[in-house]
Amino acid sequence: MRPSEVAALSKSACVLPGESKPDVWGELVLSESRPEVGAGWTDDGLSYEKRGLKRRARKTTRSVPIPPALVAMLRAHMAQYGTAPDGRLFRATGGGRLRSTEYADVWQLARRAALSPADQGTPLAEVPYSLRHACVSLWLMAGVDPVEVARRAGHSVTVLYRFYAKVIKGRQDQDNARIARALTGDDAEHHDGT
């Protein structure tokens, strides 16, 4: 998710399987974003705008399957913190929109806790948006079809290749083996999970 989509994420957008099904995937049905733009640029004086999803018609939604681990994290978050009066999952202490400066400060604390001192001096996971890049890169490295990766990420395949082509490179041996199996009609890929 983009940070502006996370800012708008509501409980109603989360389709979470029951706790008795810990291995079942859930789904986020995204329909809104709340980009931070500054109070001087909005009609109502708020520091953000309520918008539809980036580069989509206003009422369009985007479905994103989420793994069981994220389902469990969202459940735990809602159990501990509840939601804002309008149903949003993530909010500032006073209930308003979580500002980018607030989550950037927490991100830096988490970065210091998670990374070695040497890695802290590099651009690795420098900003919260790095999570989005890491997620898309993981999907590509896992072999998820690029069209599906682009759909889940909410952008075009062209954008996917423009920004993530470096992740796709370096898999020539694996790709050659897949092509060879397809040419010989060997469907072992479907049987052994590779």
Residue extents of the structural domains in the chain? 1-97, 129-194
H or E element at residue 104: helix 100-114
Report how far residue 51's alpha carbon sits from residue 4's, in angstroms, rounded to the nearest whole number: 9
Closest by alpha carbon to 168, among 147, 154, 192? 147
How far apart are the C-alpha atoms of 6 and 124, rounded to whole Å?
21
List the pLDDT tens digit at each of the 194 positions of the chain.
777 788 778 899 999 998 888 899 999 988 776 656 655 555 655 555 566 555 555 667 788 899 999 999 999 999 999 998 888 888 877 777 777 777 788 889 999 999 999 999 998 888 888 888 888 988 888 888 999 999 888 888 998 888 877 666 667 788 788 888 899 887 655 555 55
Residue 30 forms beta bridges with which residues?
A: 62
Q: How far apart are the first and last CA of the chain?
A: 28
pTM exceeds 0.75? no
Contact 146, 137 (CB under 8 A): no
Residue 66's pLDDT is 93
3-state SS class at 170: coil
Contacts of 151 (CB under 8 A, 6+ apart): 62
How confident is the model over 108-158, as pLDDT tens digits?
999 999 999 999 999 888 888 888 888 898 888 888 899 999 988 888 899
